[in-house]
Copies of this chain bind each other. A is one copy, B any other.
Amino acid sequence: MNFLEERIRKDGIVKEGNVLKVDSFLNHQMDIALFNEMGKEFQRRFEGKPINKILTIEASGIGIACIVAQYFHVPVVFAKKSKSINIEGEMYVAEVESFTHRCKNQVIVSKKFLDEDSHVLIIDDFLANGCALQGLIQIVQSAGGTVEGIGIAVEKGFQSGGRIIRNLGYQLESLAIVESMDAATGEICFREQ
């Protein structure tokens, strides 16, 4: 088990409906020392890639992305989930469906911050069915940029998102891949990596 799998075993809570609550250290309260460990590990896994920008999506991806960015020395852009009056001018827009919130969102990035010279590492906290991630990939492609890799904290390996993204040929690195969870016993099984 790696550091993140250990932390999920220790502090993650399994709920009915295949819900894994990691809100005490990952996506409501955030353990910055843990995020730094994640940054170091992503640096190792994406070594040699010509990454010049990190792209994430609000809200819970932002903290991880900012800490991880310190290991790549690049700026972070976060995609917004709904139109804001403070974003003006030309925007890239992708429509995605949220598994958590069961609604459709528009994922929006200003055209100023992505172009054909963008070599992008996409970072997010969770990967389940992968709709948000597909929206981010779509936006990088609209900009003519390159997705150099995708770094995820926790992947739900029993949902289809990860398989689809790997089948498309992307280097997808998930620090913990949950194969199964049992709400009755609290047991969590991880995929061997």
CB pair B59 A80 closer than 8 Å: yes
A100 CA to B109 CA, complexed, in Å = 18
Cα distance A28–B80 in the bound complex, in angstroms = 8
Judged by a CB distance under 8 angstroms, whether A42 is at the interface is no
What is the bound-complex CA distance between A87 and B19, given in angstroms?
Answer: 11
Task: Assess whether B84 is in contact with A63, with CB atoms less than 8 Å apart.
Answer: no
Q: Is the CB of A76 within 8 A of B63?
A: yes
Chain B neighbourhood of A62, CB < 8 A: 58-59, 62-63, 66
**Cα distance A117–B39 in the bound complex, in angstroms:** 30
A90 lies within 8 A of chain B by Cβ:
no
Contact of A23 among B21, B58, B63, B87 (CB under 8 A): B87
**Known interface pairs A21-B86, A84-B101; A29-B59 also in contact (CB < 8 Å):** no
> Are A30 and B75 in contact, CB atoms less than 8 angstroms apart?
yes
Residues of chain A touching chain B, judged by Cβ–Cβ distance below 8 Å, are: 15, 19, 21, 23-25, 27-32, 35-36, 58-59, 62-63, 65-67, 69-70, 75-78, 80, 84-88, 100-102, 109-110, 112-113
A-B contacts, 15 listed (Cβ < 8 Å): A23-B110, A24-B112, A24-B113, A27-B86, A28-B87, A30-B66, A30-B78, A31-B75, A32-B70, A35-B66, A36-B70, A59-B59, A59-B78, A63-B63, A85-B102
